[in-house]
Structure 1
Amino acid sequence: MPKPRPLQLRELRLISMYSNWEFGMTPQQFYSKWAVSYEQIAIICDRSDSTVRGWFRNGQNRRNPTRNDLLHLGLMDFLLEHIDEIPEYLRQLLCLAIS
């Protein structure tokens, strides 16, 4: 088993930038931009349909998405917008091979 690679200054800076990254998209923004169902948003965020419906409710029963949910939707928006610009070898590394 190979030894773990040590982190250099470059990698430490990347970790720091990533941990403070304010990238994301709200469910409402995603829903208004793309013709998706609540069920598809649930799949993207790995949440239940009822949780996603709660994000769109008003009042006391409203639920709020987590930072990870916003990140998932932001990344999916990015992929939907830019998938054709991502080189095939990178798509394969990310398991994003599409036909």
Structure 2
Amino acid sequence: MNKPRILQERELTLIQLYSHCQLGMTPRQFYNKWAVTYEQIALICSRSESTVRGWFKQGDLGRNPHPNDLRHLAIMDFLLEHFEDIPTPLWRLLCPLD
């Protein structure tokens, strides 16, 4: 079994940068930018379609997405915008098929 890697200055700096990253996109922003369905947004965020519908309701019936949902949508937006720029080996590391 391998020992955990010791964090060096480079890694500590990256953790600091990431911890202050305000990456997020609202469901409405994503929906207005991309021709997607509520079902597809639910798939991206690992939520039910009824939860996603709740995000789009107005007033007391509406629900707010969690910060993690906003991050998922922002990452998916980034991937949709830059998919062709991501080298295949890096894509396989990010999303292995096995």
Q: Would you say how many aligned residue pairs link Structure 1 and Structure 2?
A: 97
Taking the aligned partners of 2:49 and 2:64, their CA distance within structure 1 comes to 14
1:87 aligns with 2:91: no
One-letter amino acid matched to 1:87: P
Report deviation, 1:15: 1.0
Report deviation, 1:47: 0.6
Report deviation, 1:96: 6.6
Tell which deviates more after alignment, 36-45 or 11-20.
11-20
- The residue number in structure 2 matching 1:14 is 14
Identity of aligned residues (%): 64
- Structure 1 residues 1-99: aligned runs within 5 Å: 1-95=1-95
Task: Flag as ranges the 4+ runs of structure 1 deviating above 6 A.
Answer: none
Taking the aligned partners of 1:43 and 1:26, their CA distance within structure 2 comes to 15
Taking the aligned partners of 1:20 and 1:47, their CA distance within structure 2 comes to 25
Report deviation, 1:32: 0.4
**Which 5+ residue runs of structure 2 have no aligned equivalent?**
none
Taking the aligned partners of 1:17 and 1:67, their CA distance within structure 2 comes to 18
TM-score, length basis structure 1 = 0.92
Taking the aligned partners of 1:64 and 1:17, their CA distance within structure 2 comes to 26
Report deviation, 1:61: 1.3
**Which 5+ residue runs of structure 1 have no aligned equivalent?**
none
Taking the aligned partners of 1:62 and 1:38, their CA distance within structure 2 comes to 15
One-letter amino acid matched to 1:22: Q
Taking the aligned partners of 2:96 and 2:83, their CA distance within structure 1 comes to 9
